[in-house]
Structure formats: structure tokens, C-alpha cells
Chain A
């Protein structure tokens, strides 16, 4: 116990020194990771009553709650609350409606941000207005099916789970109440992501710290909506009424909708994301069920952790990156030109026909050196 506290104190001191970030990165890159380096602390937990507690109010995507990129002080217990809401959601402009299952009412659920070594303490509430049993499986957690085995709650119940965030990266969380309920709940919207930042912030894998001015959370969702004999999408009285028909569509593995943040057009037009030339953005992109391949039209992935795990050096200069289904990836980019950028799933059928398109509106000065129209369109000479 004493030893353990000492180690923690040592780590805290080391992490607190921002100037040491580069050195630390080098050490990690050159020395095979021991259990402690990996952050996988076994043995008795420290006395959590001595750790500071922080309560975080979550923000609906694409927003992300305020957070430090470099941890201030030592590990904390970070408290979150997720309230499960079963509710009808319109997912396109044809009024197509799904009986969604959501964490906090949004698809995806909100992004949580903590630092490596912090304790995540989640209160999961299943109000008695819901019909179904739910739980939560954190891909960032260790044991008990990611917490799913300890969090199954009926309508009218709540549960509290604490897990240690031992691995830095972006991770999916989702409902997994067992059997065929698992994919059904996930493709009904019940998923989100958590970002576990390294205590000394992001780096390029070679010791150079990376920083972002804005962060956006995009959750990509595949929906499987049954159609009637005329080919129109069907509407059901309840989630249960839709279940067997939806299962048939799910088993085709062909989504009818592939959208960002719960609906086609949820991140375009008046809801387009905004930034300025010279600003660096971090996009956390999750897909809890199905592979995706994000692409920023007219831009690049400056630094991309396509599988989302920050102890791997990011790839650089990417055109398109692959995020496997059941994972969250992260992409860092500095805007160099003003204009409208489309951020798409570069299966362009999914982007254009099924809805996986978002827009960034970027203001600033045009750089003629990077691009110029030498001759405007004119009759062929």
C-alpha cells in the first residue's frame, strides 16, 4: 500500500512537468513497456477518498465538454451521469422515424474526456418511462464485459460503475444487454465514445506535443429501417413492434441510412461545424458497429490515430483513413484555406445517398500559393 502510494506520487510528479513530456515520449518509444508503463496497475486500489473529485456536465455532440489537454495535478475521480432515453428520432427529411435508444437523448451519446490514470465514475440512469433493460460496455475499461456485466438496469433503476482509465486513446462505449439485444440497441443509437488523453497531452510519437484549438465529436450511425410493399420506410408504434422487421434488415448487413450525429443533415447547413484558417481541430469519430473511412474533402489528416490509441504514433498526411467498426479514431488537422469543406465517409454512396456527410465552414484568407484558378472556365480556344 505504501509502495503503491509512492509510485503514484512519483508518477504524479513526473506527469506534472510539462517540460518532461518529450523525454517521457522518447522513453516510451525506446523501452519495452512494463506493466507500470502500460498503466496497467494491478493490486489494491489507492485510497480513492484522497483523490480529488470532479463532476462533469456532458455536452451533446458534436460539442465536447471543457477539458484540459494536459492534465493539471494528479489522477482524479471524474463523475459523469448518463440518462438513458428511449425516444422516436427523425433520421432524414422524409420523416423516417426510428425508435431510438440513446445515452442522454442524443445519437451518439456525449463524448467523455478524462486523462490516463483518472477514475471514471459513471451513474447510469434508466428512468421508468423507458420500456427496456440497458447497460453500458466501455471499450476503455478492463473486466466484466467492459462494465456491461455490472451495469444492467431495468426501467426505474440506476447503477454506479467506477473504472480506471488505464489506456490513452479514443474508445467506443455502447449498450450490450445480451444476445440479439446487443446489435439492436447499438444500431438504434445506443453508443458513444470516451477520450482518455495522455496526462501530458497528445504528441506526434516523436516527442513533439500536439494541441488543438477546437474539438468535434462525430458519431457515425448505421440504421436499418424496414420498408413497406411500396418501398416506403415503415413507422412502428413502438421499438418492440419494429424489432423483428428491423432484425431482418439488419441481417442483410446493408444499412438504409448511414448518418453522422443521428440524422442526415445533422451537421450541415445551419448546423455546419465552424473553424478559422490557422486553427487546429481534433475530430473524434466513432462507429460502434461498422467500418468507416473518413475523408476531409479539400484537406488532409495531418495526424491520424485511425484506431484511436494515443500510444501509437499517429500516421501523417493521410487522404482517407480507416476506422474499424467498434472503434473510435481521432484526426488532427490545421485548416490552411477558407471555404466549405465536406467531411465524409469516402464510400461516396454512403456519403451522398445514405447521409454520411458533414460540413465545416472555415473563414480566413485564401492562400494563392496553395491553389489558384489560372484560367476561369471559358469557351474552348
Chain B
């Protein structure tokens, strides 16, 4: 294969109604400004959904090794919830409000969308933290990025186990590299990296929208390298919080200031199409949790 054929939907189809959409999005942003003039309590932030308590399993993120050989992270059985989380990823319109108030830096999307109801992309971990702080001040609630474990809980049936299905051969490190490469290649949907309107990728079994579409989500979890003792217990952990994990179709560590990582190159693995995020809301109090 030398090049992908054109799909039915071309950029032209999106650009033609661009002027209309720009008008609409400006209108919707104005509406938000009007909303913001109301008392702070009136704005509670983007729409959320409460994921009910349930048992789930997840694999500890990190670079794990045993006997000097890379191994899969330990599989954990857990129970969690309820967790209140944004129904959609933070949108361009949501994020623009923070930018317009000088609390967030402008996003650097690879493609500038003519519509405001797409997830914000081209945002770093630092940008996500700024937005969370601004939204928390704005609403009086505590908003924060989920951890990897929480994200997997929220992701439900869309969560992807990043374990490599390969026997690690101490004599041949290349086997694991090749297995990882093949796995990521087979998961890479030969799709379009252009951000799509919120809801495009549908709901998971928990009702949360757009999990594992083409926008990866920043998590609060720091990158780590964990060395396991022969009995499986942890011998050492080195954390690097300048690098955080993104979740999506695969787990990816990324420096906190990076806004775009689509490019391939020497790092062999598959790269996220776009970097975005969604936040969880801490319960205000027991009484107010439901709404």
C-alpha cells in the first residue's frame, strides 16, 4: 500500500459550511459569557455523569521489570466509585472560556476546527491542570484529572489492557519489541486523526462518551519504573512526574509540556492522534453528591 484512498468525507465537506459554523460557535460562546454573569453557583461546569460503584480490574501502569527483563505490570482487582466525571471530553468551547479569561494558554491543535463542539486538542498536561484549577475556582467544586486506575474504571468496556502478549525472552529482547510493535500496529485504527464532534465515538457501557476515540486523555498518574523482586513484590520504584500517562487506545507516557505527539520517527511505538482530557469532580459533600 502506498497511500490511503480518499474517504467520502473530505476536508472540503467540512470547510464549506465553515462560515455558518463559525457564526454558530461565536453565538454559543456569547451565551456562555452571559451565563458567566450569573452567580458562580449557577455554572457547575460541563455536563457530568456518575459512574456507579463496581468491581473492575486494571493493570498497574509503568515500566515493569524483573531480573533485568521487561514484564507486564501487575494486574489489580479493585472496587471503586461512585465517580462523577465529565460526560464528554473538555470541548473547544469549554476550554476557550478559560483562555478568554486569561487563565489558560491557547491550545495548539494540529487542525483548527470550525466548530466549538469538538474536544479541545493540542493541550498539555500543564494546560489541563490550569483548566482544572480555573474550573474549580469558577464553580466552587474541586475538579481534577483522573488517575490511570480511575480512568480505567470510567472507561468500562472501552478500557484497553496494555499488557504485551509475548513471552519475555531474557536472551532476545527484540521479541518483546516486535510483539509490542505488532500489537500497537494492529490496534492503530487506520482512521482519521481529525477531531470529531463530541459524541461521535459514542458511549461506553457506563454511558461515558467518546472513550478511546482519536483524542487521548491526560491522567494524573506519574510515569514510573518498577523493579519486581523474584516473588513479585516491589523491589524499587522510581517515579518521574515530569512525565504523565495518557489513556486512550493505548497507554502512553508523555512529557507534561507536550501538546502534540502525532509524529512517528525514531520512537517506534504508535503515537496518540491528539492530546485532550476530561476531569472528575470531587463530591462537595455527601448530601450534594447526586446533583
Contact = CB atoms under 8 A, between A and B. Distances in A.
Q: Which 4 A-B pairs have the closest CB atoms?
A: A352-B265, A338-B174, A262-B3, A269-B185
5 contacts: A89-B6, A94-B193, A95-B194, A107-B3, A263-B3
A94 B111 contact: yes
Nearest to B68: A376
A351 interface: yes
Interface string A314-357: 00000000000000000000000111101010001001110101
Nearest to B270: A269
Interface stretch (B10-18, B76-84, B136-144, B249-257): B10-18
Contacts of B11: 95-97, 232-235
Interface stretch (A159-167, A170-178, A360-368): A360-368
B266 A344 contact: yes
Nearest to B214: A93
A373 B15 contact: no
A286 interface: no
B65 interface: yes
B265 A357 contact: yes
A67 B239 CA distance: 55
Interface string B239-277: 000000000000000000000001111101010010000
A268 interface: yes
A251 to B, nearest CB: 24
Given A94-B193, A342-B266, A366-B171, A377 B7 contact: no
A106 B4 CA distance: 10
B238 interface: yes
A231 B112 contact: yes
B265 A351 contact: yes
A230 B112 contact: yes
B188 interface: yes
B205 interface: no
B268 A107 contact: no
Interface residues of B, number: 49
Interface in B44-99: 63, 65, 68-69
Interface string A243-286: 00000000000000000011111101111100000000000000
B252 to A, nearest CB: 15
A272 B269 CA distance: 12
Given A95-B11, A366-B171, A340 B177 contact: yes
B52 to A, nearest CB: 36
B265 A342 contact: yes
Interface string A370-381: 000101111100
Given A89-B3, A106-B3, A231-B112, A339 B177 contact: yes
A33 B273 CA distance: 56
Contact of A265 (B174, B181, B264): B264
Given A235-B12, A342-B268, A355-B263, 10 more contacts: A94-B194, A108-B2, A231-B112, A297-B266, A337-B174, A348-B265, A359-B268, A373-B68, A378-B227, A379-B236
Given A235-B11, A235-B15, A351-B265, A262 B2 contact: yes
A359 to B, nearest CB: 7
A333 B265 CA distance: 21
Nearest to A231: B112
Interface in A190-239: 228, 230-235, 237
Given A340-B268, A359-B268, A93 B2 contact: no
Nearest to B180: A340
A88 interface: yes
Considering residues A364, A366, A373, which has the most beta carbons from chain B within 10 angstroms of its beta carbon?
A: A366
Nearest to A261: B2
Interface in A72-129: 88-91, 93-97, 100, 106-108
B173 A366 contact: yes
Contacts of A235: 10-12, 15
Contacts of A96: 11
B172 interface: yes
B175 interface: yes
A3 B10 CA distance: 63
B42 interface: no
B233 interface: no
A90 B172 contact: no
Contact of A377 (B4, B225, B266): B225
A273 to B, nearest CB: 12
A362 B268 CA distance: 13
B39 interface: no
A340 B181 CA distance: 8
Given A262-B2, A363-B178, A377-B225, A93 B273 contact: yes
B165 interface: no
A61 interface: yes
A167 to B, nearest CB: 28
Contacts of B212: none
B192 A95 contact: yes
Nearest to B69: A376
B7 A95 contact: yes
A132 interface: no
B3 A94 contact: no
